[in-house]
Chains A and B, each alone.
Chain A
Amino acid sequence: MTSRNMTSRLLASAITLLPVLPAFIIGGVAMVPAEVHAEIKAAACKVTAFLATREGDGTIPADLQFLEEQLRDDQFAAFKGFRLLEAKTLKLGLGIPSTADLQSGFKLKLSLLGEEDTKLKLHANIVAPGRDKPLVDTAYKIDDNGLLLVGGVRHLDGKVFFAIHCRGEV
């Protein structure tokens, strides 16, 4: 093969690849994460307190629709009425607890302990009205924005539950 033929072939290959070059560039940009995995340093949490009662027609109100799948489960079959009590947001700093003083008198203290295996490590502590000793104190790992339900404590005409989900921030 002459050098001219070789040059022509190389040139032809380069010309063939030219139209797809931008696609490679865009694809490369898309494949590179916008942020190299950064350590979670804070979390935004939402606490939803709701009451589950034995009286009701089973309707789940709109503000609790995000829990429909859980509330329709057999474990909640004893409850026929659901009512939102309160929803609050908390901003957690790493290792800095934040407390939601709920109108129902319950206190929910949340802490961001860190991150492990892409999951958030959290600490939750719930204290009933007029009590010092917590109803429950737990440390758990959960997916970013994952949901944890805690409750079953008598309150008013039913039992109170807390839906907790947090989203990590860098």
Chain B
Amino acid sequence: MTGTEEQLSAYIDGELGPEERAEVDQWLARDPQARALVAEFGLLRGAVTAGFEAEAAKVPEARFEQIWDEIDRALDRETAVHPSTQPTPSLWSRMLSVLRPVWVPVAATAAVAAVVVGIVGSGAITRTNGPATQPALASNEATSTSSAPVAPVLADSKPSVEVDPVVPAPALGEAEIERIEFGSKAGRIGTIEGKRGTTTVIWISEDEPPVGRSL
């Protein structure tokens, strides 16, 4: 394509200034070949435009949105590569953006901690022998302090057992005997060394004095 053809093409596309456009008008008035060329360019342009419009009509609306999204992403990437000339964000903005990945787990953990503090503080967790168990103990006390008739226990009689969830299995640890009197009997204090600890045993002797620390 010659320079003249480029000028005609620009003329068809309306890209020329007033002076250039006037020159082209004069040229077309005197040159039939140029007019034919312009007509040809015009037909070609119309065909191309119509073709694009027809293709566009076939594209669904959703595809256009996809295309726009892709354009947005491309622009974002472009912005990231070429830092904008806008002022630097504030310190707090940067801190928030840095914290964004961690603030959710931090907030969740803090919420759990707050719940734990609330539960502990409210006394929902208490010792098993706390006030909540006192009614059961009171009933046991009434039973144990009642003056039931005393009768010798037969060898085959069924033992009386009060189920008591309040007093757990005993711990082992040596007792410190501060004072002891055996009445009319003799006795001694012994210890049993076990795997779990030491148990103090006070032996009341009615017959022969046992070997050990007699008192």
Q: Which residues of A contact B (CB under 8 A)?
A: 7, 11, 15, 18-19, 21-23, 25-26, 29, 34-35, 44-47, 63, 66, 69-70, 73, 75, 83-91, 98-101, 103-105, 119, 121, 126, 129, 133-154, 156-157, 163, 165-170
Nearest CB on A from B180, distance (A): 4
Q: B171-198, CB under 8 A of A: which get 1 and which 0?
A: 1110111111111110100101011100
Give A90 to B139 CA distance when docked, in angstroms: 10
Contact partners of A83 in chain B: CB under 8 A? 155, 159
Whether, in the assembled complex, B2 has its beta carbon less than 8 Å from a beta carbon of chain A, the answer is no
Question: Contact between A136 and B148 (Cβ–Cβ < 8 Å)?
Answer: no
Question: Contact between B137 and A135 (Cβ–Cβ < 8 Å)?
Answer: no
With A145-B171, A149-B202, A152-B205: A140-B153 Cβ-Cβ less than 8 Å: no
Give A156 to B159 CA distance when docked, in angstroms: 14
Q: B52-94, CB under 8 A of A: which get 1 and which 0?
A: 0000000000000000000000000000000000000001000
Contact partners of A153 in chain B: CB under 8 A? 185, 204, 206
Q: B96-122, CB under 8 A of A: which get 1 and which 0?
A: 001100100110011011001100100
With A34-B125, A73-B194, A105-B150: A135-B116 Cβ-Cβ less than 8 Å: no
With A19-B105, A22-B110, A142-B176: A103-B148 Cβ-Cβ less than 8 Å: yes
With A18-B102, A22-B110, A104-B153: A136-B195 Cβ-Cβ less than 8 Å: no
Q: B131-165, CB under 8 A of A: which get 1 and which 0?
A: 00100011011011111101111110001111010
With A44-B129, A136-B180, A147-B170: A21-B110 Cβ-Cβ less than 8 Å: yes
Question: Contact between A167 and B167 (Cβ–Cβ < 8 Å)?
Answer: yes
Chain A residue at smallest Cβ distance from B160: A86
Contact partners of B32 in chain A: CB under 8 A? none
Whether, in the assembled complex, B201 has its beta carbon less than 8 Å from a beta carbon of chain A, the answer is yes
Whether, in the assembled complex, B7 has its beta carbon less than 8 Å from a beta carbon of chain A, the answer is no
B102, B141, B152: the one contacting A98 at CB < 8 Å is B141
Chain B residue at smallest Cβ distance from A149: B201
Question: Contact between A145 and B183 (Cβ–Cβ < 8 Å)?
Answer: no
With A18-B99, A19-B106, A22-B110: A140-B177 Cβ-Cβ less than 8 Å: yes
Give A142 to B182 CA distance when docked, in angstroms: 20
Give A119 to B176 CA distance when docked, in angstroms: 10
Nearest CB on B from A107, distance (A): 9
Give A40 to B169 CA distance when docked, in angstroms: 20
Nearest CB on A from B60, distance (A): 47
Question: Contact between B173 and A134 (Cβ–Cβ < 8 Å)?
Answer: no
Whether, in the assembled complex, B203 has its beta carbon less than 8 Å from a beta carbon of chain A, the answer is yes
With A21-B110, A25-B117: A86-B161 Cβ-Cβ less than 8 Å: yes
B125, B144, B190: the one contacting A89 at CB < 8 Å is B144
Whether, in the assembled complex, B199 has its beta carbon less than 8 Å from a beta carbon of chain A, the answer is yes
With A44-B129, A142-B175: A88-B192 Cβ-Cβ less than 8 Å: no
Give A45 to B160 CA distance when docked, in angstroms: 16
Nearest CB on A from B134, distance (A): 8
Contact partners of A66 in chain B: CB under 8 A? 169-170
Contact partners of A168 in chain B: CB under 8 A? 129
Question: Contact between B145 and A99 (Cβ–Cβ < 8 Å)?
Answer: yes
With A15-B98, A89-B137, A167-B167: A136-B204 Cβ-Cβ less than 8 Å: yes
Chain A residue at smallest Cβ distance from B117: A29
With A75-B190, A135-B182, A138-B179: A144-B116 Cβ-Cβ less than 8 Å: no
Question: Contact between B178 and A139 (Cβ–Cβ < 8 Å)?
Answer: yes
